[in-house]
Amino acid sequence: MKTPHWLLTAALLALSARGAEAPAPEVQWLRARALPFDPATDHARDLRPLKAALADARVVVLGEPTHGDGTSFTAKTRLVKFLHQHMGFSVLAFESGGFSADQAWQQLAAGAEAAPVLAHSTMPLWTQARQCQPLLGYLAAQARGRRPLRFTGFDCRDDGPLAQQQLLPAFHRFLAAEKLAFADTAELGRFNRYFAALSGPPTPTPDPARSAYLRRHAADFRALLAGKLAQLAGRPGEPAEYWRQTWQTTLAYLPGLLRRRGAGELSGPAVSQLRDSLLAENLVWLLTRRFPRQKIIVWTTNYHAAHRRASRHADDQVQVMGDYLAPRLGRQLYTVGFTAGQGEWGLSTQPGQVTALPPAAAGSFEDWCRQAGLSTALVPLRSTGAPEQAFSMRPLGYQAQQRRWAEVFDAVVYTATMEPARPLTGGSQ
């Protein structure tokens, strides 16, 4: 039986009308305001419009949905180079220990071989990721150049081997030079033993004897450290201020360090909030005291970068770094979150273990980006036409949430397909 001619005509007209429908306002906004860029190139043309948006910024925070987002690492590297080469940013601060990063920088600037030094400059999650090697190579190439990109860290914990091997000797050299040594060898020994037990990366199962030792002598360590900080109070000079900040942060975060060793009583959320408050304090110190005339790029995760408190979401149990920074820095702060439409993520330190991203929900930010035909693009969330209401997006560990995202990030980088962090050696992810 043949289909009537009039029915075929009606069907074709319906399809034509559907295809002619205007895209959703959000898709139109993305097509008009998104800033597509190629992470694989270094020319400035595609990112030049960022200059106006960042005119007042002294701190640009670059996040990532997880620590296993290789494609985000590539995009962040492109943004770091642009900010350094074309906008006068001269410091890159990693979410990692400050002492390790500073020691690596000093060795690199003095002419040390780049590869082994940079391998311990920040967290292995990044230094062991193949997609971060262009960034590390760029840092090495710039270290002895006319306009180096100085790198440092701002975390309140330092698990790196440089800190474990060199922090105490460096501190004791400073104390000897300032004639502030410990009262006797017994006091020195107690301080060194406790700090050694406290330091280093956490183990899956805390050692009961170690935990008991840390609990038993915590008060003594606090008293020793407080005594040294009292001696450093008001001491002039950059080295004294550096050690003052280092040990003030250690003392403040001691409950978190003890919890990592199974010796603390503070809850997980309380430790998380304490850490984020100290991340913010260290960044403000870098900005106002250590690099007061420089602009800083911050390399961290979306979780820490977010100004979550502004959106008042039910999932927010604690304040994060962005909550502390936003009211203090105002327009000097510009935060960039990252998200992806599909793909996989996986840590460089866990080869072969990857997690597939769930499909982006219809009507979500990621879905709008797909409809807009975006591949990699920076989207200013406070631009003309941006949605003012809450909408779905998943920059926080790829868990979709309804928020007023323009109150959480200044901009978001969308990637169509995420690749996991690729390990330098071994594994096939």
Distance CA 413, CA 330 (A): 21
Helix (H/G/I), strand (E/B), else coil: 231: helix
DSSP letters spanning 301-338:
-HHHH--GGGG--TT--S--HHHHHHHHHGGGEEEEEE
Distance CA 337, CA 413 (A): 6
Mean pLDDT across 116-143 = 91
In a domain, 72, yes or no: yes
Is a pLDDT exceeding 80 seen at residue 14? Answer: no
Q: Which of 190, 222, 252 is the last residue of a domain?
A: 252
Band of pLDDT at residue 56, cut at 50, 70 and 90: very high
Q: Indicate if 139 and 210 belong to the same structural domain.
A: no
Q: Indicate if 36 and 145 belong to the same structural domain.
A: yes
Q: Indicate if 216 and 360 belong to the same structural domain.
A: no
Band of pLDDT at residue 228, cut at 50, 70 and 90: very high
CATH number of the domain within which 122 lies: 3.40.1660.10
Q: Indicate if 327 and 413 belong to the same structural domain.
A: yes
In a domain, 381, yes or no: yes
Q: Indicate if 181 and 63 belong to the same structural domain.
A: no
In a domain, 260, yes or no: no
In a domain, 425, yes or no: no
Distance CA 352, CA 427 (A): 6
Q: Mean pLDDT for the chain? A: 91
Q: What is the pLDDT of residue 6?
A: 46
Mean pLDDT across 82-104 = 96
In a domain, 36, yes or no: yes
Q: Indicate if 148 and 170 belong to the same structural domain.
A: no
Distance CA 75, CA 38 (A): 8
Q: Indicate if 220 and 369 belong to the same structural domain.
A: no
Higher-scoring residue by pLDDT: 196, 385: 196
| pLDDT tens string 386-402 | 888 899 999 999 999 99
Q: Indicate if 239 and 370 belong to the same structural domain.
A: no
Higher-scoring residue by pLDDT: 202, 209: 209
In a domain, 278, yes or no: yes
Percent of the chain with pLDDT over 90: 77
Q: Which of 222, 252, 282 is the last residue of a domain?
A: 252
Angle at 206 (CA atoms; ends 202, 209), nearest 5 degrees: 125
In a domain, 229, yes or no: yes
Q: Indicate if 151 and 177 belong to the same structural domain.
A: no
| pLDDT tens string 297-323 | 999 999 999 987 655 555 567 899 999
Is a pLDDT exceeding 60 seen at residue 88? Answer: yes
Q: Indicate if 130 and 30 belong to the same structural domain.
A: yes
Mean pLDDT across 68-77 = 98
Mean pLDDT across 282-304 = 97
Structural domain total, the chain: 2
Mean pLDDT across 361-388 = 93
Q: Indicate if 362 and 379 belong to the same structural domain.
A: yes
Domain that holds residue 198: 158-252
Is a pLDDT exceeding 90 seen at residue 10? Answer: no
| pLDDT tens string 232-262 | 998 999 999 999 999 999 999 999 999 999 9
Q: What are phi and psi of 296, to 5 degrees?
A: -120, 135
Range with the poorest average pLDDT among 103-107, 117-121, 205-209: 117-121
Q: Which of 252, 286, 320 is the last residue of a domain?
A: 252
Q: What is the pLDDT of residue 12?
A: 41
In a domain, 17, yes or no: no
DSSP letters spanning 146-208:
SS--EEEEEES---SHHHHHHHHHHHHHHHHHTT---SSHHHHHHHHHHHHHH-SPPPSS--H
Higher-scoring residue by pLDDT: 23, 372: 372
Q: Indicate if 409 and 285 belong to the same structural domain.
A: yes
Task: Quote helix, strand, coil % in the chain, to nearest 5.
Answer: 50, 15, 35
